[in-house]
Amino acid sequence: MRKELSRLRDLDRERGLLVHVGALLSWDQDTNMPPKAVGERSQQIAYLEGLAHDKFVVPEIGQLLGALGSTSLQPLGDSSLEPRERAYLRVLRREYDRATKLPSDLVSALARETSLAHAAWIEAREKDDFPAFVPHLERIIELKKAQASCLSGASMAAGATHYDALLDLFEPGSSEASIGQVFAGLRAQLVALLGKITSRPQVDDSFLRRSCSESRQAAMSAWVMGLLSYDLSRGRLDTVAHPFTTTLGVDDVRITTRYIEGYFPSGLFSTIHETGHALYEQGIAPGEEYGRSLLHEAASMAVHESQSRLWENIVGRSGAFWKGNYARLAELAGDSLRGVGLEAFVKSINRVEPSLIRTEADEVTYSLHIILRFELEAELISGRLAAKDLSGAWNAKMKELLGVVPPDDASGCLQDVHWSAGLFGYFPSYALGNIYASQFWAAMKKELPDIDTRIEAGDLASLLLWLRSNIHAQGATLLPGELLQRVTGSSLDPAHFVSYLNQKYSRIYGF
Amino acid sequence: MRKELSRLRDLDRERGLLVHVGALLSWDQDTNMPPKAVGERSQQIAYLEGLAHDKFVVPEIGQLLGALGSTSLQPLGDSSLEPRERAYLRVLRREYDRATKLPSDLVSALARETSLAHAAWIEAREKDDFPAFVPHLERIIELKKAQASCLSGASMAAGATHYDALLDLFEPGSSEASIGQVFAGLRAQLVALLGKITSRPQVDDSFLRRSCSESRQAAMSAWVMGLLSYDLSRGRLDTVAHPFTTTLGVDDVRITTRYIEGYFPSGLFSTIHETGHALYEQGIAPGEEYGRSLLHEAASMAVHESQSRLWENIVGRSGAFWKGNYARLAELAGDSLRGVGLEAFVKSINRVEPSLIRTEADEVTYSLHIILRFELEAELISGRLAAKDLSGAWNAKMKELLGVVPPDDASGCLQDVHWSAGLFGYFPSYALGNIYASQFWAAMKKELPDIDTRIEAGDLASLLLWLRSNIHAQGATLLPGELLQRVTGSSLDPAHFVSYLNQKYSRIYGF
């Protein structure tokens, strides 16, 4: 390896160490920190973020990338380098450009405005006062457009939009046009499927509301983490208000869950979902010397989400999975599942019902909530929709896509934290994750055609091994689109997701 | 405030932030971290320590100190400054000199040798093979002497010893001679007291060995932390193998404890002890603008230990404390204290018995274990005792001070981790803490003569308030000797400790 590459990796791994320490500060804040420490903790996190940023924007990194032939337009660098080294230069170049292209006054303005907007959003949601939030949303949109301009810079292709640059932050290589095309097809199919489902008698899930103690739910989590082979010598589970997965080191990937006494599936599927994320993180292995580097990261947000949803929905809500495991779950659940059979249970955890809140949505309607947000944020960033008109547009689209209309903005356009935090371009990852998951699943089935029989027999290891070698191990070596092409032989195609949903729900709802 | 002082404080507080982050890394390692993350965590901790050190040895700090008139010999600086500002310059100068006087090859050698020695110590203790540890001990002693020479430098006074410089790291302003004199007096008195106690019939504590569940012990901890007014909005309790207190921020002071099913007093008094440390840390208040600075620290290790021991022993093992609280404890203990009366309980938790292991020693023999270590480490550093002869010297002194002789080195001179970690000069703090505690207690009694009645009535707040305003609030503004003089009107005097022990144990053992 050329000495420039070795030096780059050292600098990058130093950045990675600081990011991991910052992740511990955040994890501790959510799990253990005494309440009054919050002010100091914010300072500590901001300081560590600043250090990690400062380590990465030094001119030396630009010079080293240049010496290895990597430019913004030709990020892979010298063709004499190994493919993995070139892939590494590409992610380094992307991050370096992102970190250096933003003027510091824009970074400060974004930090300041999102901090103010977050507080304003909390108050506006509490008081159901959308107009009070509008000026904040307007300022954030302007700043995000400025950020997008800086990120695209001179390399902004003809026809490219500001929103493209924001999408690229979470899903490298994607665009408003490409995602728009995929979502447009999916939208129609989901609305049609939802129509079929809602025309059929609803399935019963009333027994899922029976009380179930936290200790029983904790036992379920421990059991299911074991079934999925989450390595607890390199991870752990804690409870929090809003579950997440976080990586504190190559050998320290922690998940969190939440137990609701009157609805145990929330905690159970939350644990499976986060375990799916953790299995990905624990399986990243682009080479020991790349530990903590930018190559030792997920391919994208959407690929990450594909792993959590694959385990939560395709596996965790399937009849095949519960065939061998339901008896044990019923034991652990005690009275909560007394007298409930396997078939009724599987139906109950797949109940579909249009609702107002994204985070409570089922597998069919969830992507519609996302498509709605994608369409609206694209319009907000382009200027086709004014911030002040968001509430009306939201409610109209809810009616159109889900057939329900929020009675207020608190359960409408003010329900998510994302926009107040400046996270435009993030939402699509959730729905893309569903599409990726189904497409990966279809590819896996070609190699493991008896996967359902294996899962019924309690063999989840075959699936994990396939995901490990095909998806997890590469880390960020491939762009998401390249990964998809390599693994499935085609580009992003929602047909697999639609077909999976139709097959599954035609059985559950009998149409 | 002069702008140089303001700049110094900014730099110092940046160092403090990094120290707090490092403390979280260590706390998490002991409480939560998955086992396989240990290698990465060591790197993270070392990196943060390096950053904090680097922040502090920049020439700018030396220049700023110089500009404010603070030198190694006249650390207080310009007499035109406020007293608190001058006190701050003194602690800054001390830490700056300590940090800059050591050549980096010595720092590296110490890190390397103590790391090797620690592993060798674990193996030697397991195999009871003291000779295998001797070469490590020899190398560490040589390095500690070199460290002492660097620290004393040109300012080494006539008659000063290497050990003086090592003691000064933990107890600023102390010396081998001053501590030796105090300990010599204490030694004779403790041996005499122990003779009286062992000539009397032993008190019964067999009921303390009854099984007591972890949940019952956790309830005892929660209860006693509340009694002592440990602020859990700025702290928390966790369980670990070796209990400690750690400060992760001005508003984040965490304690730990350990529950032994067959001996509940271990956890109970461990919680009280660590709460004593935490009350000190939570009470430090040299001014908001000094938060995270070196002024916002304890006066010394021994003063810290005085606070933990005051609450654990003088309060927590007193009849006055249990008079109003025993009924509740007995409820929480369930079968463990069934049929045991208040008097029998108070006697049992004050049982004195010479034993081999320091960490299991009672209030009377504990200081003898420390005096033994002080005498031996002074001899090792001076060269009067060769490392290879430590085992024999240890056993002879055990016989002389405690009347018992270890059957092997594992329960003799290999029992403590300290020397393998290079911690020479640390041990005396434990016994000094007992002396300080009794001396503070005597001074407090002059102002609150009815303290026993107050404690009997459940009023611990009067005591805490007195400690807060007289000891805690100052932080490191005063040297330990100055603090003692200010609070008690005299210098270190073991007479109070001896008198306290004699009064207490004459009642318990009836002599």
Q: Is B292 helix (H, G, I), strand (E, B) or coil?
A: coil
Give B464-504 pLDDT, tens digit per residue: 999 999 999 999 999 999 999 999 999 999 999 999 999 99
pLDDT score for B141: 98
Distance, in angstroms, between B223 CA and closest chain A CA? Answer: 18
- The catalytic site residues of A sit at 274
Query: In a mutagenesis test of the B interface, which of A11, A54, A238, A251 is the best target, namely the one with the most B β-carbons within 10 Å?
Result: A251
Task: List the single residue in A17, A34, A48 with the smallest CB-CB distance to B43.
Answer: A17
* % of chain B surpassing 90 pLDDT: 96
Mean pLDDT for B34-44 is: 94
pLDDT band at B104 (very low <50, low <70, confident <90, very high): confident
pLDDT score for B152: 87
pLDDT score for A104: 87
- Residue B199 confidence (pLDDT) above 60: yes
Mean pLDDT for B342-363 is: 97
Does the beta-carbon distance from B251 to A36 stay under 8 Å?
A: yes
Task: List the single residue in B24, B36, B234 with the smallest CB-CB distance to A233.
Answer: B36
**Which residues, in sequence order, are bridge partners of residue A252?**
A249
Catalytic residue among B274, B297, B305, B377: B274
Query: Contacts of residue A28 in chain B, CB cutoff 8 Å?
Result: 24, 28
Does the beta-carbon distance from B252 to A35 stay under 8 Å?
A: no
Give B45-92 pLDDT, tens digit per residue: 999 999 999 989 999 999 999 999 999 999 999 999 999 999 999 999
Distance, in angstroms, between B11 CA and closest chain A CA? Answer: 13
Distance, in angstroms, between B241 CA and closest chain A CA? Answer: 18
Does the beta-carbon distance from B37 to A252 stay under 8 Å?
A: yes
pLDDT band at B155 (very low <50, low <70, confident <90, very high): low
- Residue B8 confidence (pLDDT) above 80: yes
Could you say which architecture CATH assigns to the domain A206-355+441-477? Answer: Orthogonal Bundle (1.10)
Query: Contacts of residue A48 in chain B, CB cutoff 8 Å?
Result: 21
Q: Rounded to 5 degrees, what are φ and ψ at A298? A: -65, 155
Mean pLDDT for B4-11 is: 96
pLDDT score for B1: 61
Does the beta-carbon distance from A35 to B233 stay under 8 Å?
A: yes
Q: Is the Cβ–Cβ distance between A118 and A420 less than 8 Å? A: yes
pLDDT band at B343 (very low <50, low <70, confident <90, very high): very high
pLDDT score for B153: 75
Does the beta-carbon distance from A250 to B43 stay under 8 Å?
A: no
**Which residues, in sequence order, are bridge partners of residue A256?**
A238
Residue ranges for chain A with pLDDT beneath 50: none
Nearest CA in chain B to A37: B251
- Residue B154 confidence (pLDDT) above 60: no
Does the beta-carbon distance from A234 to B48 stay under 8 Å?
A: no
Q: What is the pTM of this model?
A: 0.94
- Under DSSP, the state recorded for B351 is -
Query: In a mutagenesis test of the A interface, which of B32, B250, B288 is the best target, namely the one with the most A β-carbons within 10 Å?
Result: B32
Which residues of A have a CB under 8 Å from any CB of B? 14, 17, 20-21, 24-25, 28, 32-37, 39-41, 43-44, 47-48, 51, 232-236, 248-252, 254
Q: Is A157 helix (H, G, I), strand (E, B) or coil?
A: coil
pLDDT band at B458 (very low <50, low <70, confident <90, very high): very high
pLDDT score for B77: 93
Does the beta-carbon distance from A44 to B234 stay under 8 Å?
A: no
3-state DSSP helix/strand/coil % of chain A, to nearest 5: 70, 5, 30
- Residue B127 confidence (pLDDT) above 70: yes
Half-sphere exposure of A419 (CA within 13 A, CB side): 26
Nearest CA in chain A to B252: A37
Does the beta-carbon distance from A21 to B17 stay under 8 Å?
A: no
Query: Contacts of residue B236 in chain A, CB cutoff 8 Å?
Result: 32, 34
Does the beta-carbon distance from A40 to B234 stay under 8 Å?
A: no
Nearest CA in chain B to A252: B37
Nearest CA in chain B to A31: B32
pLDDT score for A154: 57
pLDDT score for B159: 78
pLDDT score for A152: 87
pLDDT score for A339: 96
Q: Is A252 helix (H, G, I), strand (E, B) or coil?
A: strand
Query: In a mutagenesis test of the A interface, which of B25, B245, B253, B281 is the best target, namely the one with the most A β-carbons within 10 Å?
Result: B25
Query: In a mutagenesis test of the A interface, which of B19, B251, B296 is the best target, namely the one with the most A β-carbons within 10 Å?
Result: B251
Least confident of A399-408, B111-120, B331-340, B401-410: B111-120
pLDDT score for A228: 98
Query: Contacts of residue B42 in chain A, CB cutoff 8 Å?
Result: none
Give A110-119 pLDDT, tens digit per residue: 989 999 999 9
Q: Report the relative pairing of strands A245-249 and A252-257 from DSSP bridges.
A: antiparallel
Contacts 24+ apart (CB under 8 A), A321-328: A321/A455, A321/A456, A322/A346, A323/A456, A324/A455, A324/A456, A324/A457, A324/A458, A325/A227, A325/A458, A328/A223
* % of chain B surpassing 70 pLDDT: 99
pLDDT score for A502: 98
Q: Is A256 helix (H, G, I), strand (E, B) or coil?
A: strand
Sign of the CA dihedral with B230 first, then B235, B237, and B243 last: negative
Residues of chain A with CATH 1.10.1370.30: 206-355+441-477
Does the beta-carbon distance from A48 to B21 stay under 8 Å?
A: yes
Token pair for B115: 């790391």
Give B372-403 pLDDT, tens digit per residue: 999 999 999 999 999 999 999 999 999 999 99
pLDDT score for A1: 61
* Calpha distance B296→B293 (Å, rounded): 5
Does the beta-carbon distance from A233 to B47 stay under 8 Å?
A: no
